[in-house]
């Protein structure tokens, strides 16, 4: 599976880290950059995930809604750094899965 983010001119970025549904469910589709000129983190989440909470080393947690299995989080001036973990949440806000990054 791939997720591509393109701007009006066709330039952009993509995440092709997950090649299967099982890889997506393990969290291997997170990417980041500024594909449309706005720095973001983005990725895919499986059915049933309502939001994704990002935890950073030097910033408070931030939550992005999942729409049609896609989440996007604005990374102002790329100051957030790399997430140390993500938490997938259901519609009630309960944690469904935690994905830790080195």
What is the predicted pLDDT for the residue at 13? 63
In the prediction, which pLDDT does 62 show?
96
At residue 3, does pLDDT exceed 60? yes
State which residues form the domain around 33. 3-100
Average pLDDT score over residue span 26-37: 73
81, 74 contact by CB (below 8 A): no
Query: Mean pLDDT over residues 71-79, rounded?
Result: 88
Give the residue, 17 or 11, on which the prediction is more confident: 11
Split at pLDDT 50, 70, 90, the class of 44 is confident
Give the number of residues written for the chain: 102
The chain-wide mean pLDDT, for the chain, equals 83
Let me know if 66 is exposed, middle or buried by CB neighbors in 10 A (0-12, 13-18, 19+). buried
* CATH number, position 91: 2.60.40
Task: Report yes or no on whether pTM surpasses 0.85.
Answer: no
pLDDT band at 32 (very low <50, low <70, confident <90, very high): confident
Task: Please give the Cα distance from 57 to 50 (Å, whole number).
Answer: 24
| Domain count of the fold of the chain | 1
């Amino acid at each position: 599976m791939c997720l591509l983010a393109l701007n009006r001119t066709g330039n952009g970025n993509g995440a092709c880290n997950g090649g299967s549904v099982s890889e997506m469910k393990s969290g291997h589709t997170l990417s980041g950059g500024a594909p449309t000129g706005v720095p973001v983190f983005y990725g895919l989440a499986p059915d049933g995930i309502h939001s994704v909470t990002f935890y950073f080393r030097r910033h408070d947690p931030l939550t992005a809604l999942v729409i049609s299995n896609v989440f996007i989080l604005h990374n102002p001036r790329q100051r957030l750094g790399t997430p140390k973990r993500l938490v997938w949440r259901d519609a009630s806000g309960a944690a469904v899965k935690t994905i830790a990054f080195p």
